């Protein structure tokens, strides 16, 4: 986060961008998964679409224009099997968690709560895909 | 890493952390013990709750087989990290007695904790932190939110443990 108060619209746009990236990424990951994992990826993909719609409406309600999704997102690594697909899903959820953590820094209390609750969902999904929990989801370690 | 970002964040100061005696000569209308800021009190309460969580985990590990203890130790280690980060944000005026970790360890810990009780405690902690984060400075709110998210993931981790 930069210095100074975080703008609600900026934080919401960042969350929207992370959701759009997740929607794209789950499309790639899902193609390499099967069985219950594929079902889980499909559920998560649907959830991210719903979150995208929610954020779009919230940004519009604040009088701003939601930034459109990109046609293509660069992925952190090649996805060629179930293990790399699950690693990608965890990576995507980490990005979503970081973005929602940005919302927790805004002054609007309802947005703070919204961001805090949303990041619990993405942290739980990241833990599922990674197979382990983290002490500080969303707080960047680098 | 985290320690660096914690150091970069504004420290929480008690409202009346400075002594009035030498700084200005006028009469002190609030003579007596300085009041702690609401943020400091909130942080102290959250630290106390985190210590209680650690005590719960320690009680849960009593008599458990080694394989299960390992799972709980992993989660307990994350709670210790939570506690360390919370304590790093706490800056008290020098007059305030700082609670010592060893004193709290010997404090009344439950004899035995079930996994179900741990799950309930994790869920309650996440809820409590989300309620508290609306009224604290942004950096502290983010730490609370991150710890709440970690606690939420522990609920699911403990669910898997319970079936194992």
What's the CATH code of the domain at B75? 1.20.1260.10
- The whole-angstrom separation of Cα B139 and Cα B152 is 20
The model's pTM = 0.84
Cα separation values, B11 from B84, B90, B117, Å: 15, 7, 34
Residue B115 is assigned to a structural domain of this protein: yes
Residue B58 is assigned to a structural domain of this protein: yes
The parent domain of residue B120 ranges over 35-163
| CB-based contact A133:A127 (threshold 8 Å) | yes
Residue B22 is assigned to a structural domain of this protein: no
Residue B144 is assigned to a structural domain of this protein: yes
- The whole-angstrom separation of Cα A94 and Cα A129 is 11
Cβ density class A101-140: b for 16+ within 10 Å, e for less: bbbbbbeeeebbbbbbbbbbbbbbbbbbbbeebbbbbbbe
Supply the pLDDT for residue B3: 42
What's the CATH code of the domain at A88? 1.20.1260.10
Domain count, chain B: 1
Nearest CA-CA partner of A17 in A44, A41, A52, A42: A52
Quick one: tokens of B132? 């508290």
- The whole-angstrom separation of Cα A28 and Cα B28 is 67
Residue A65 is assigned to a structural domain of this protein: yes
Q: Which of A5, A138, A141 sits opposite B149 (nearest CB)?
A: A138
What's the burial of B144, exposed, middle or buried (CB within 10 Å: 0-12/13-18/19+)? buried
Encode pLDDT of B50-82 as tens digits.
999 999 999 999 888 888 898 899 999 999 999
Residue B9 is assigned to a structural domain of this protein: no
The residue of chain A nearest to residue B156, with distances taken between CA atoms, is A124
Encode pLDDT of A47-80 as tens digits.
999 999 999 999 999 999 999 999 999 999 999 9
The parent domain of residue A26 ranges over 8-130
Residue B29 is assigned to a structural domain of this protein: no
Residue A1 is assigned to a structural domain of this protein: no
**Cβ of A138 and B142 within 8 Å?**
yes
Residue B14 is assigned to a structural domain of this protein: no
B143 contacts in chain A (CB < 8 Å): 136, 139
Residue B143 is assigned to a structural domain of this protein: yes
Encode pLDDT of B124-146 as tens digits.
999 999 999 999 999 999 999 99
| CB-based contact B150:A137 (threshold 8 Å) | yes
Domain count, chain A: 1
Q: Which residues of A touch B (CB under 8 A)?
A: 1, 5-6, 97, 101, 104-106, 109, 112-113, 115-117, 119-120, 123-124, 126-128, 132-142
Encode pLDDT of A71-128 as tens digits.
999 999 999 999 999 999 999 999 999 999 999 999 999 999 999 999 999 999 999 9
């Amino acid at each position: 986060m930069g210095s100074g108060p975080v703008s609600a619209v900026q934080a919401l746009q960042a969350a929207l961008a992370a959701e759009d990236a997740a929607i794209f990424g789950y499309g790639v990951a899902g193609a390499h998964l099967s069985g219950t994992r594929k079902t889980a990826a499909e559920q998560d993909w649907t959830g991210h679409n719903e979150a995208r719609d929610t954020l779009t409406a919230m940004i519009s309600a604040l009088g701003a224009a939601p930034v459109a999704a990109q046609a293509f997102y660069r992925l952190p690594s090649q996805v060629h099997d179930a293990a790399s697909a699950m690693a990608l899903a965890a990576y995507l959820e980490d990005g979503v968690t970081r973005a929602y953590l940005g919302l927790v820094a805004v002054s609007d209390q309802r947005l703070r709560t919204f961001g805090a609750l949303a990041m619990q969902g993405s942290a739980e999904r990241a833990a599922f895909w990674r197979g382990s929990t983290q002490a500080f989801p969303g707080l960047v370690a680098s | 890493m985290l320690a660096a970002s914690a150091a970069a964040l504004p420290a929480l100061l008690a409202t009346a952390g400075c002594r009035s005696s030498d700084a200005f000569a006028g009469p002190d209308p609030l003579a007596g013990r300085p009041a702690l800021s609401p943020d400091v009190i909130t942080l102290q309460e959250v630290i106390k709750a985190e210590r209680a969580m650690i005590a719960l985990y320690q009680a849960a590990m009593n008599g458990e087989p080694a394989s299960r203890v390992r799972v709980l130790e992993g989660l307990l280690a994350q709670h210790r990290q939570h506690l360390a980060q919370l304590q790093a944000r706490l800056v008290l005026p020098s007059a305030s007695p700082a609670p010592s970790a060893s004193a709290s360890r010997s404090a009344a810990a439950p004899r035995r904790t079930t996994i179900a009780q741990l799950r309930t405690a994790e869920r309650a902690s996440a809820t409590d932190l989300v309620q508290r984060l609306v009224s604290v400075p942004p950096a502290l709110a983010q730490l609370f939110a991150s710890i709440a998210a970690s606690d939420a993931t522990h609920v699911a981790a403990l669910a898997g443990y319970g079936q194992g």
